[in-house]
Chains A and B, each alone.
Chain A
Amino acid sequence: MKKLMLGNEAVARGIYEAGATVVSSYPGTPSTEVTEFIAKLYDEIYCEWACNEKVATEVAIGASFGGARSMTAMKHVGLNVAADPLYTASYTGVNGGFVAVVADDPGLHSSQNEQDTRNHGKAAKIPVIEPSDSEECKEFARMAFDFSEQFDTPVILRLTTRVAHSQSLVEEGERLDYKLKDVEKNPDKYVMMPAMAKKRHVIVEERCEKIAEYGYDCPFNKMEINDTKIGVITCGISYQYAKEALPDASFLKLGITYPISEKLVKEFASKVDKIYVIEELDSFIEDYCKSIGVDVIGKEIFTRLGEYNPQMIKKAILGIDGPESLTVDEQIPVRPPVMCPGCPHRGMYYILKKLKLKVCGDIGCYTLGALAPLSSLDYCVCMGAGIGMAHGMEKARGAEFTEKLVAVIGDSTFIHSGITGLIDVVYNKGVSTVIILDNSITGMTGHQQNPTTGYTIRGEETRNVDLVKLANAVGIERVVVADPFDLENFEKVVREETAAKEPSVIISQRPCALLKTVNYGAPCIIDEDKCKNCKMCMGLGCPAISVVDGKITIDASQCNGCTLCMNVCKFGAIRKVGDK
């Protein structure tokens, strides 16, 4: 019987069916569940959270060289971190099949940019395959390993958010009993020094041509000839949108979007009157078509921004508007994401705001500290960037500037790419203050274990990184552990460390409020007799506290009883339900 599966779950299933045995990834929306499903469902596969995408990719490459089928999964920006090993693994090729699952995020549901992974594929000369629903996710993931071994190449399986996070029906198959390939000594293939790499580059270029030829008649690409007045070349989720919008049109659905089969595109062009290329983000297929002299319409009528949908395709090609809809005649307040009630970051940001510090940050739940009312975080570029940026600001504006400057970084992010930044500060005589937010878990991506938590992806106990010792070991002498809900002490610590004339680390330690082990008991309540309506508690930006009919009120269904608001109330007007 067919099963309803998330795209990411189906990818995991395909990897399982292909007989893969090693998986190493770093979490990142919308790719995270691929690896989580493998950890949860398939004990036959060794599975780990790596420190970052580069390490994960190297682990998967090593497993491939070791003769196993291996996989790494990451979000689009993770591929930037992993690019170094991946670009040269393109030269070495593989032993056991090796697949990198990379999930793009058009529309930026949970990302800092909208980069298009197909460009990486082209630049690295690695084939890119793109499924358009869960069934294809499973099949493409399964077939990707044969493909990888047939052409001796890493393969990028590109997803986008709507493919990764949509559920559709999947037919499950059997797992291949894959035998480890022999490990042979072959420095010409596996040692990329100039003399060897020069020769491998020749092979890589030939391989690209061969894969393009293979694309003419392969299970990934599909031509559907219907009414020939309109032809559509498309890929991934755009195929589904276009099929709904233009059910009668002819389609060339590219499952391999790099390298593209010239013969296939030209054959399709010969069968239809007019061709539209419908692809989210960059004009990747379109540029290729134009480069081989096939006349297509693409970004002249479609955007490079965000996600597509059937209505916009219908409007752009057929000029047909969507159905008439109900209207709302007033401005509706937006509802951006917020830090949860009980979030440990809230106490920290409250102090950073109070002290009017500049805050260099990066990627995680704590990026939400940029939003009102805390409005504390000033800079966010990429994972781990906060520390380097703070150091750069110091070098630009002088050491005195660091008295009003901190870097904030999550525990998992610090392991991912903060450690090198910290060493840079020490080595180059910086005096920055770095706050590591140790909340005992990787938060934003939905609670993954990491090297600081003491548990593996499968919940087994393991050694954990001691952040204090690590900071000491790289040369930080001032390391302070502080509870961000003890506001008085936290403020004192931040004041002292930012004033210090040497680099320092503050470990802001309190577990994520969503962890099952966290239980603050009864919710808080406002004592109306004592409340002076001063709104100090509102400054915390806790979603459970708001003004209802002119009075400060705590929503008991949202409050988790963390008592941070009690700490900021000067009139003792907040207490726990049940307390006097």
Chain B
Amino acid sequence: MSKEPTGPDTGSDNLPAEEPIPNPGLPSHTWRPTDIDEAAARRAERQIASMYLLSMLCVLGFVVTYFVADVGDNWDTILGLGASTVGLGVFLGLALLLIGAATIQWARKLMSDVEMVEMRHPARSSDEDREATLQALSSGAEDSGIARRPLIRNTLLASVGMLGVPAVVLLRDLGPTPGQAAEADYPGAGLEKTVWTPGMRVVRDVVGTPIRASDLEIGDLVNAQPEAIFPSEESGLPELHGAELLIAKSKAAVIVVRMEPETIIPGEGRDNWSVDGIVCYSKICTHVGCPISLYERTTHHLLCPCHQSTFDLSDSGRVVFGPAGRHLPQLPLAVDEEGFLVAQSDFTEPVGPTYWERDHKDIGDQGEADL
């Protein structure tokens, strides 16, 4: 066994001084009690075997639990926890742990623990091998004539390279482009539009009932939707399903809050967007699009639970804290002849997170509330 790194690749010639202490070599082996005492070895053997036995018992327990513990709408419980999950998990886990522990204990106590030495070899191939490989490569290249016939080589490379084109082109139908989506015929198609239309009622989420302005008290928060999500027979709106429903919801969701009318600082041109202190904002955060409804009634702040952007609903949805870069879009409100809240129009700007072409296809007054 060599004592010092002196191989060709270890660079021992860089060392400025001799090593201070020579390598003393492997210490002599010391024996375990199980190596020298047959009784200890037998004890260990019994211990290991009993772990394997216990493991089998645990599997039995697993099977019993599987057939005895109820799932479905009426779970059996242990300490308030689901008996099936707990029982199956603990029995399976113990069965596995016992096999593992027994096997490792076997290795630790009874298998040989005399250290062995194996020599390493440099990762690189030997010079002869390299030579032979290079020789083979050049013979191969020579036989193919790839060097002599650059035309073939170049056209081969180009044609194989061109195969990337079908691979990319084939992915084209993964989805429509944003432009195509905007022209699709489902309601509120495209990033710039939502299902809100002038005069559409604001209805409560989940139950779909319209909101009478006089029903709301100061401090009230309503998680609301356009009526198009909950079409009633009288409205004559089409029922939305599947992707259309989800897309419509993901852009059109709003929150309606009522505050003291004098606390509202209306944005430019937004003087008549509120009804008696009732304001309506997009529920979709302008940061990355989480729905937000963490509203504080005294500060009029709205917090996003995802990244803590905070918006001031008394001040055109201005950002007061956090990573959002834009104010929250406001939906202009009015009341219809029956006294229910309705939208004056669709949002005047795209809702949700910022995207590259957003300004390009701007449809309204975006940005002025950031000032």
Physical interaction between A and B: no
**Residues of A that sit less than 8 Å from B by CB:** none
